[in-house]
Structure 1
Amino acid sequence: MRSESWSWHPYLYNPGYYDKTDVYYLETNLYNAKTEELIWAAQSETYDPSSITDFLKGYVKSNYERMQKDGLIGENAQ
C-alpha cells in the first residue's frame, strides 16, 4: 500500500503596498521689533489634509482671531 503525505502550511499574503501619510507642521512666532523678544507663538500640525489651501486659510484665521483675543491686534491692541 502506498501512502502519500499531504501537508498544508498556512501562509500570509502581502499584496505589497504601502501607506503614505503627509504630516504638516506649522509655527507662527510674533516678536517685539525693538527688543526682539518673543511675545506670542502658535504651533499646529495636521495629517493628510484634504486641501492644504483650506487648512492654511483656517490656520491663518485661527491665529488672527487668537491674536485679537489676546489683545495683540485690532481695537484692543496694546
Structure 2
Amino acid sequence: MGGAVSAGEDNDELIDNLKEAQYIRTELVEQAFRAIDRADYYLEEFKENAYKDLAWKHGNIHLSAPCIYSEPCHSESGKSRLVQL
C-alpha cells in the first residue's frame, strides 16, 4: 500500500506532499509527522527510500506507508494520543 503521493527529498517535503493530497488535515497531525523524521527508522543502506510513500520491510522491521499512518491520527483516539506526546 502507499504510493498515493509523490516522494519527497526530505521529511518536510514528504509531509508537504501528504498535506497536499489531504492525508494530513490538521495542524496537530502535521506537527507530529514533522517532529519524527521517517529516515530515523531506516537502516543506513535503505535511507534513500525513507521519503517515499511506500511500505518498507526488512527482516523484523516493517513500516507502513506514511499515508496509512496518517488516517488513525485523525481519529479521536489518535488525537488524544498525539496530545499526550
TM > 0.5 fold call: no
Q: Which has the larger radius of gyration?
A: 1
Using structure 1 for the length normalisation, give the TM-score.
0.29
Using structure 2 for the length normalisation, give the TM-score.
0.28
Larger RCO of the pair (alpha carbons < 8 Å, separation 6+): 2
Structure with bigger helix share is 2
